[in-house]
Amino acid sequence: MGKERIGLAVVGCGNIATRYVSTLASYPEVDLRGVTDLDLARAEELAGQADARAYPTLDDVLADDAVDLIVNLTIHHAHEEVTTACLEAGRHVFSEKPLALTTDGARRLVDLAAERKLRLGCLPFTYMGEP
């Protein structure tokens, strides 16, 4: 990542995203570039609260060269697909639990991240969502 500030975007603007966005604001090394969601109105609402951009689609996020890291907060069955797209686009990814729905899917993601020399993280609890 090597930059002074990390350009970050959140994918998935459900309940936990609000907590992540507010917590991330306290990190001076993080530049919240924006958020996206399948429901653009929900993304726009969260973006307004965070003084960030609402990207219309994941493709728009991935087209922004200022985004280095994706926080994947999508619904569980979308994690593998979203994380794969992000890694293939050259972005580091932190995914909310689970990383994927199958062990094979998780292994594919780990292998893809290693192949691309990208960071991939996932925790078994809500890392930035605890009060």
Rounded Cα distance between 106 and 100, Å, is 5
3-state secondary structure of 120: strand
CA dist 43 → 14, 49, 69, 77 (Å): 9, 10, 18, 20
Place of tokens 């969260």: 46
Give the residue numbers marked as catalytic.
97
